[in-house]
Amino acid sequence: MGGLNPESEQRSQAKVWFIAGTDTDVGKTYVTALLAAALNGQGKRVGVYKPAASGCNRSGDELVADDAVQLWRAAGKPLDLDAVCPQRFEAALSPPESAKLAGQSVDQRLLVRGAEPWLRGEFDVVLIEGAGGLFSPISDQWMNIDLFQQFDDARLLVVAANRLGCVHQTLATCIAATERQVCPDGVVLCQTQDQRPASADSNAAAIARFGPTAVWGEIGFGASEIPEKLVRQVLGG
């Protein structure tokens, strides 16, 4: 659960989920978009927020965050793309390093304030997608876990790539989080390769056996839908 927000009394009653990875390129945006689409398909009003993105593409004078576009479309195009991702940087580095190359810095206050249109809006569920792993830097002073702790009543979903090494990465992330008084609510394993690795058959069981957090679902490569159980967990969480 996230930390206290002094303006929480002004917020809607939306369920707020922060989706973080164990690493970069683990399928975090893919899972978040599938979840947004499933919730939208059930008639839920879905908000999506990507506080900062790097590795953006330049289109004229604008920087376009492909991840933000994917989330926005999956959620049914709520608000606008600038609201989805207010801070965009071009270099494919962590947001603070990418910003530094552009002679800028990540606006830490905006990371939180940028969520307000979603948290105060008429949404049933708000999905906040971090940048990279849970312990990756998102500003000069904060890692993603620090940003998560700014959101009152937010729940935490961790996405891991379902491949060899996944057990260690997931356990390390979840156990380290508990040292910060954060207990992830669930883990989702996402297959990021077209050929299913042999370890994928046992990863979920090993994580459940050794870790503090349950595996809520597995997403196959190229899946067009998310497991109904995961949708129920998010709505019931």
Which amino acid belongs to residue 152? Answer: D
- 131-179, pLDDT tens digit by residue? 999 999 999 999 999 999 999 899 999 999 999 999 999 999 999 999 9
Q: Categorize the per-residue pLDDT at 220 as very low, low, confident or very high, splitting at 50, 70 and 90.
A: very high
* 229 counts as catalytic: no
Classify residue 23: in a domain, yes or no. yes
Using a cut of 0.85, tell me whether the model's pTM lies above it: yes
- 88-102, pLDDT tens digit by residue? 999 999 999 999 999
In this structure, what token pair is assigned to residue 237?
A: 């969480």
- pLDDT mean over 50-68: 96
Q: Which domain holds residue 100?
A: 15-236
Q: What share of the chain is helix, strand, coil (3-state, %, to 5)?
A: 35, 20, 45
Classify residue 171: in a domain, yes or no. yes
Query: Which one from 15, 50, 77, 229 is the annotated catalytic residue?
Result: 50
Per-residue pLDDT, 121 = 84
Q: Number of helices (H) and strands (E) in the chain: give both, helices first.
A: 10, 10
Answer yes or no: is 25 a known binding residue. yes
Per-residue pLDDT, 6 = 40
What does the mean pLDDT of the chain come to? 94
CATH classification of the domain holding 96? 3.40.50.300
Domains: count for the chain: 1
Answer yes or no: is 130 a known binding residue. yes
Classify residue 10: in a domain, yes or no. no
- pLDDT mean over 53-68: 95
- pLDDT mean over 113-127: 96
Residue that is written with structure tokens 């790097």 in the block: 54
* pLDDT at position 16 over 70: yes
Answer yes or no: is 139 a known binding residue. no
Classify residue 3: in a domain, yes or no. no
Classify residue 4: in a domain, yes or no. no
Classify residue 151: in a domain, yes or no. yes
Classify residue 7: in a domain, yes or no. no
- pLDDT mean over 17-43: 97
Classify residue 2: in a domain, yes or no. no
Answer yes or no: is 228 a known binding residue. yes
Taking alpha carbons only, the member of 180, 108, 103, 92 closest to residue 140 is 108
